[in-house]
Structures are given as structure tokens and as C-alpha cells.
Amino acid sequence: MTFEEAKDTFIHTWGTLATQWGISRSMAQLHALLLISPNPMSTEEIMEQLQISRGNASMTLRDLMDWGLISKQLKPGERKEFFWAEKDIWKVARQVAKERRRREITPVVEVLNELKNIPTDTPEAQEFQRVMTGLSNVVGFADNTLNAVIKAEENWLMSQFLKVFR
């Protein structure tokens, strides 16, 4: 397998994998390209490599920045903007967990907390509250799990920081 074949396979596979994380295929493919690029890339380079339109590239770059997965960089003497991706896969995973928690879990927790606090004066209302409480417990477990993943970095960084001063 050549480098170009491996690169294309990775970009395609990352696109498929990331859809499981709640990220669109084009976002994932652009992220994959930046992830394996040794240098920041311009919008034009990205468009050429992925064969996408400027509009698609611009929207996708903005979405990836909103997710905190890529950053913009300016180079002295250049008018173009350049983009690079975080290379530490654990940081990427934590950032995805953080964003999914913010975008998906937190709103559901709020709704479920509201829905399970209804009067239970009928058998239907009692069953409704039982189901909402069960759902709330499952979503709460997912929220706690994602929070543990997110906090793992903070705990690791704190332990590293404390080692320096011992």
C-alpha cells in the first residue's frame, strides 16, 4: 500500500468512525486530513485534497473550530488562514466527549428532570414517572461517565503539575 492509498483509506475510515461520535462525515474527513498533515493547511489546500467546494470547506472548518478540534493559525506575510488539528488523540476524544455532553446529554437531563416531576394521581402518570426516572438514571450514568472522561485530563495535568513542585 502506498502512502497516498493509506492516507485515502484513513480519511475515509475516520469519516465513517466519527459519524459514530456525532460528527458529520465531511467534518471527520477534513479533521482526518488535518490530523495527519505535518503542517497547517490553507482552505485552498484542503479544498484541493478533499475535492470539496469553498462553501463546504468554510462551513466544515467553522464547525470543527466550534467543536474545539481544530485551530486557526496566521503566518507572517501570508494573507491566507491556515488550520491545524490537535494531534493528541486522547485530547481529541476528551474534546468530543465534552462537546457531546454539552450538546446532547445536558439538554436531555434538563428535560427529563422536568418531566419526572409531575403529579402521580393516575396509574398512567405513575408509569410515566417511573419510565422518566429510569431514563433519567441512564442518562445520568452517561453524563457521569462522560464527565469522568473529561475530568481525567484535569486530574492527570494536576498530578503532573504537582510532580514538578515536589
pLDDT, tens digit (0-9, with 9 covering 90-100), for 130-149: 999 999 999 999 888 888 87
Contacts of residue 97, defined as CB under 8 A and 6 or more positions apart, other chains included, come to: 146, 149, 150
Residue 112 half-sphere exposure toward CB, CA atoms < 13 A: 18
* Contact present, 81 and 72 (Cβ < 8 Å): yes
C-alpha to C-alpha distance for 92 and 94, rounded to whole angstroms: 5
* Contact present, 140 and 84 (Cβ < 8 Å): no
Residue 93 has pLDDT above 70, yes or no: yes
Residue 157 has pLDDT above 70, yes or no: no
Residue 166 has pLDDT above 80, yes or no: no
Mean pLDDT of 150-160: 65
| CA nearest to 133, candidates 114, 107, 148, 106 | 114
Q: Read off the C-alpha cell for 98.
A: 465534552
* Contact present, 93 and 149 (Cβ < 8 Å): yes
Give 111-132 pLDDT, tens digit per residue. Answer: 998 888 889 999 999 999 999 9
C-alpha to C-alpha distance for 112 and 129, rounded to whole angstroms: 10
Q: Which pLDDT score is estimated for 20?
A: 80
Residue 160 has pLDDT above 70, yes or no: no
More confident residue, 152 or 37: 37
Residue 154 has pLDDT above 70, yes or no: no
Q: What pTM does this model have? A: 0.75
Q: Which pLDDT score is estimated for 150?
A: 79
